[in-house]
Amino acid sequence: MPEAPRFQAYLSKPVQPSALLDALLGAFASQARDAIQSREETGTTTRAAQHIDAQMAARHPLRILLAEDNLVNQKLALHLLGQMGYRPDLAANGIEVLRALERQTYDVILMDVQMPEMDGLEASRQVCARWSGNRRLPIIAMTANAMQGDRE
């Protein structure tokens, strides 16, 4: 039986800006240490941040692949990431994720769990199997289902 994918983080939809920021910073903890320390020094933790950091992409450049089939959720995620200065590529299902990864390298995947053709769990299994070891890239799961089983 294939190994279950290990996600760097998970996000419940609808995605909140502070949760997205926390997930991205958490996925790149070594790069984000300075940003977290800066927020703590100014008295603003990432969870309590009320505004979106428009300069985040300049300080932490990332090549992001957004895997989401729902048009409304796509627009929301693209908008939030755009406010941070990111311009993610888009995949509407797991098959498109695998094709995108064959074409170019990404720093992180924001992966919807439930998608048609190939869901995010299967796509994550295949990503982990194909790009393992030091080539393994962080995957952040996104789901509207907040049940414990979905998180696991």
Whether residue 78 is predicted with pLDDT greater than 70 in this model: the reply is: yes
Instruction: Give the residue among 107, 103, 123, 104 at the shortest CA–CA distance from 115.
Output: 123
Chain centre to alpha carbon of residue 138: 8
- Contact status, residue 21 vs residue 53, Cβ threshold 8 Å: yes
The residues, any chain, with a CB within 8 Å of residue 138's CB and separated by 6 or more, are 8, 27, 28, 107, 108, 109
Compute the distance between CA of residue 60 and CA of residue 13 in angstroms, rounded to an integer: 24
Q: Taking the model in full, what pTM does it have?
A: 0.70
Share of the chain above pLDDT 70, in %: 70
Average pLDDT value for the chain: 78
- Contact status, residue 23 vs residue 140, Cβ threshold 8 Å: yes
What pLDDT is attached to residue 146?
53
Instruction: Give the residue among 67, 63, 64 at the shortest CA–CA distance from 117.
Output: 67
Lowest mean pLDDT among 36-45, 48-57, 125-134, 138-147: 36-45
Instruction: Give the residue among 31, 29, 32, 27 at the shortest CA–CA distance from 109.
Output: 27
- Tell me the mean pLDDT in the region 83-93: 94
What pLDDT is attached to residue 48?
38
More confident call, 125 vs 51 = 125
What pLDDT is attached to residue 143?
79
φ, ψ of residue 115 to 5 degrees: the values are: -135, 160
pLDDT in tens, 101-133: 999 999 999 999 889 999 989 999 999 998 877
Confidence of residue 92 (pLDDT cuts 50, 70, 90): very high
